[in-house]
Chain A
Amino acid sequence: MNSHKAVTRFKATVIVLALSGLLGGCATSGNPKDPIEGFNRAMFAFNEGLDTVLIKPVAQGYDTVLPTPVKTGVTNFFGNIADLFIGVNNLLQGKADQAVSDLGRVAINSTIGILGLFDVATEAGLEKHEEDFGQTFGRWGMGDGAYVVIPVFGPRTVRDTAGLVLDVAVDPVGNVDHVATRNSLLALRMIDTRADLLPADKVVEEAALDKYSYVRDGYLQRRRNLVHDGNPPREID
């Protein structure tokens, strides 16, 4: 028991040392939005490595092997599940009409759309939205805070990390009781999402002088845009 505790403490110490080493080793570039750049760059490199050796190859295989209608069905299926809390978030942001539309989408796609495999709601004129708890917090006036790169999940801000915790907690897929089913669904969703990003990937590689900054600045711009529902005040200068 004691030795077990000691091992745990040892592990904790190593992690803390490693983290402080990363933080200490960070040449502060003085970017106010990215105060822990050294740590973030290390995490970014870790995520990139994970992507290169595992996630991207699987997504590429998935993308090549499966016919487009199947991939679209998978994207639609998870999109339909996501629409539920997109609606909840729209409601929390006071956008009742959009919330009604989102829940209408779930009702239509879950039934006529055969468990969400077909997005008939979009055809019927109910446009899909993109909302999450991070945006809701932003809408409520919470500043976004420092930029953080989270293992596996990737770029966030402090505010969006708080949002992510809630997103994950209420995620219907993550709350499936049957463990094997849950894990398969989570993996499938991750691969499907990654596969959808493959084209964008190549463009970013082509465009970026320094991929870390390019992704960071792109993420920050994107979130700012989403919080303002596509109409952020244009930054001066």
Chain B
Amino acid sequence: MKYLFGLLAAFLFSAAVIAADLTPDLLVKNVTIEVLDAVRKDKDIQNGNSKKTLELVETKILPHFNFQRMTLLAMGREGRKATPEQLKMLTDEFRNLLVRTYSKALTEFRNQEITYKPLKLAAADTDVKVRTEIKQTGGKPVSLDYYLEKSPAGWKVYDVEVGGVSLITNYRTTFGQEIQNNGVDGLIRTLQAKNKTGDTSGQAK
């Protein structure tokens, strides 16, 4: 019954309105539960149907991400070198790469249990870390943490850490070297090539 009501509510209000009201830890929890529920119910996604997974990620997860902030974070100091147009192109390409990575991770999800750590949120907080944990059989649980910042449109995720590894800053050295060697346009071309081919990482550079 509660679930039915939740569904109804989701239809009645736009996602953005709800998101603006939610505390960041609740937002993370709700989105995670909703997405994993969808994965569990959908055999196609479990079997690696990338189109359906991408759709799920696009509609349910992406609205809560701030990709421009992520792109700047990944570029570090080199970010200054990008013109607004270049930054827009970089953000688009980086967004595609992250979406595909995220989708891949979802199809690999095997019903592990997730625990949500409570967050002490002060009224003045505008930048928080929401902690969750994935239980592993035969291993220490893996932490999955989200960094969120407050925006007029609700809380937005700008960094994700798996087991303490930031999926965003992990690109910083590669991005920096690419910009130093081939300029910002070089980095854009590299990202475009990666996104076009599917998988180039197997080839040594």
Contact = CB atoms under 8 A, between A and B. Distances in A.
Given A207-B97, A226-B164, A214 B138 contact: no
Contacts of B205: 210, 212
Given A45-B204, A202-B104, A217-B173, A207 B167 contact: yes
Interface residues of B, number: 37
Given A217-B172, A230-B143, A206 B100 contact: yes
Contacts of A225: 163-165
A166 B174 CA distance: 33
B196 interface: no
Contacts of A41: 204
A47 interface: no
Given A205-B202, A210-B174, A212-B204, A221 B191 contact: no
Contacts of A45: 204
Contacts of B204: 41, 45, 212
Contacts of A237: 76-77
Contacts of B41: none
B166 A221 contact: yes
A235 B164 CA distance: 12
Nearest to B101: A207
B97 A222 contact: no
A208 interface: yes
B63 interface: no
A32 B55 CA distance: 41
Interface in B112-168: 137-141, 143, 163-167
B104 A218 contact: no
Interface SS majority for chain A: helix
A72 B138 contact: yes
A79 B164 contact: no
B124 to A, nearest CB: 19
A199 B110 contact: yes
A203 B105 contact: yes
B185 interface: no
Contacts of B66: none
A72 B136 CA distance: 10
A76 interface: yes
Contacts of B190: 209
B169 interface: yes
A159 B190 CA distance: 34
25 contacts: A75-B139, A76-B138, A119-B137, A128-B139, A203-B104, A204-B201, A205-B201, A206-B100, A207-B101, A207-B104, A208-B201, A209-B201, A210-B205, A212-B204, A214-B170, A214-B201, A218-B165, A218-B170, A221-B166, A221-B169, A222-B164, A222-B165, A225-B163, A226-B164, A237-B77
Interface of B: 76-77, 97, 100-101, 104-105, 108, 110, 137-141, 143, 163-167, 169-174, 177-178, 190-191, 194, 199-202, 204-205
Q: Report the 7 A-B pairs with minimum CB-CB distance, sorted nearest first.
A: A225-B164, A75-B138, A199-B108, A208-B201, A207-B101, A211-B201, A206-B104
